[in-house]
Amino acid sequence: MLSIYIHIPFCVRKCLYCDFLSFPASERDKEIYAAALLKEIETEAFRYEERLVDTVFLGGGTPSILQTAHIEKIMDTLKNCYRFSSKPEITIEVNPCTVDKEKLSRYKAAGINRLSIGAQSVQDSELRALGRIHNAADFFAAFHMAREAGFDNINVDLMSALPGQTAERYLETLLKVTGLKPEHISAYSLIIEEGTPFFDMYGEKEGENGVERGLPSEEEERRMYEETGKRLEEAGYCRYEISNYALKGRECRHNTTYWRRHDYAGFGLGASSMVENVRWKNTARMQTYLDAYGKGKIHGNVKEEIQRLGRAEQMEEFMFLGLRLTEGVSRAEFFEAFHEDMEKIYGPVLQQLLDNGLIDTGERVKLTSYGRDVSNYVMAQFLF
């Protein structure tokens, strides 16, 4: 099996907290990029002739900012150049304000069967503080249009710990969103990344100073984190990964690929891949990408940071990626992958984490709820 990620690096405008590879562009530049992307998808296909594609994720940026005809061409090229499993999961990320009923219906007709809507909040003041281009009404309209267009598998992205956000207001967002009954909810806390306008506004002003600047206090943030788990579980969502919740059977198959270390190929600017334990990233420089796949070119090399993972690195990833999943990691699968008992490699680490109440062990090793709260610490213990 193979998963495919396709990166569309364009957005209407940069949000104030965003450090993703995304930027505004003219229609002409988007068109040139789309042509190069098609070329890459086509010319890389020979590497995966033996594989069945089980998931595709069109992410960004804002994929829905491309003309619908470009998305249709991407879908056609995939179908013509790759073999698919019988029921592939094909997701596109969309932002409210960049979709309408016709666009969504055409996505559906092209074979896209899952939508991921970047809502983040349903409070207009919070959306303004984030620098988002949409308001709450735009999100609700997009959600309803998606249902009308026939999408029965929708994710909604939410964020907490936002400037000006209180636990009460966040709870209101959770209730309104669960009221729509999306099949999946991703709920992340805001992380203030260096190099973003938010870093200049709040980055060095954490703690008390951050509160003065309008960030929620640590206790408030803690309440939001706890409310997320509690309210979503009450509404019937199962927390299957640290920040991801789904109705039964609606877990995101594409993202699960990453946590289970299955192979995925990334196409487009800056896209990451991992195939047969080799990781690489496509160049993040647009000119280099276009030089490789632009007009008239048939074969380009855009791969950078190529890293063949050694056995130790594979074991580390097996543990720290797999432990993100609520089901944890299987001792039998560890043995199957490495022909060694997990106990032999990680015995003392597992014992120490067990003694501290951070993991449960049995046939599967899983984070406890305390372990989930301090997951970064737990994951770090598995690095050699």
Q: Interface with ligand SF4 by CB under 6 A: which residues? A: 11, 14-15, 18, 20, 22, 60-62, 95, 118
Residues 297, 46, 310: CA angle, nearest 5 degrees: 105
Q: Which is nearer to ligand SF4, 11 or 274 (CB)?
A: 11
Cβ 65 to ligand SF4 shortest distance, Å: 9
State which residue, 20 or 338, has the beta carbon closest to ligand SF4.
Answer: 20
What is the closest distance, in whole angstroms, from the C-beta atom of residue 259 to ligand SF4 in the complex?
22
Q: Which is nearer to ligand SF4, 18 or 201 (CB)?
A: 18
Please identify, using beta-carbon distances, which residue of 3 and 62 lies nearer to ligand SF4: 62
Nearest distance from C-beta of residue 162 to ligand SF4, angstroms: 13
User: How far is the C-alpha of 339 from the C-alpha of 352, rounded, in Å?
Assistant: 23
CB of 19 to ligand SF4, least distance (A): 8
What φ, ψ does residue 13 adopt, rounded to 5°? -160, 150
In whole angstroms, the minimum distance from the beta carbon of 362 to ligand SF4 comes to 39
Distance between CA atoms of residues 253 and 262, nearest Å: 11
Q: How far is the CB of 131 from ligand SF4 (least distance, A)?
A: 7
- Residue 15 or 38 having the CB closest to ligand SF4: 15
How many Cα atoms within 13 Å fall on the side-chain side of residue 172? 11
Is residue 71 within 8 Å of 58, Cβ to Cβ?
Answer: yes
Q: How far is the CB of 334 from ligand SF4 (least distance, A)?
A: 35
Minimum separation from the CB atom of position 61 to ligand SF4 (A): 5
Q: Which residue in this structure is represented by tokens 């209407």?
A: 12
Minimal distance in Å, beta carbon 140 to ligand SF4? Answer: 18
Cβ distance to ligand SF4 smaller for residue 59 or 216:
59
Cβ nearer to ligand SF4, comparing 59 with 88? 59
Which pairs from 379-384 meet CB under 8 Å and 24+ separation?
379/319, 379/320, 379/323, 380/320, 381/349, 381/352, 381/353, 382/315, 382/316, 382/319, 382/320, 382/323, 382/346, 382/349, 383/316, 383/320, 384/312, 384/315, 384/316
How far apart CA 56 and CA 71 sit, in angstroms, is 13
C-alpha separations of 257 from 151, 268, 370 in Å = 22, 19, 25
**Comparison of 22 and 228: residue with beta carbon closer to ligand SF4:** 22
> Least distance from C-beta 94 to ligand SF4, angstroms?
10
Nearer to ligand SF4, 131 or 214 (CB): 131
Q: Sheet containing 114-120: which strands, arranged edge to edge?
A: 238-241, 244-246, 184-189, 154-160, 114-120, 83-94, 52-60, 2-8, 264-267, 272-275, 278-282, 303-308
Q: Within the chain, where are the H helices? A: 27-43, 68-81, 101-109, 124-130, 136-148, 167-179, 197-198, 208-212, 218-234, 253-259, 286-293, 311-322, 331-338, 342-355, 369-373, 375-380
Q: Which is nearer to ligand SF4, 13 or 79 (CB)?
A: 13
* Non-local CB neighbours of 304 within 8 Å, separated by 6+ positions: 280, 281, 282, 283
* φ, ψ at 78 (rounded to 5°): -60, -45
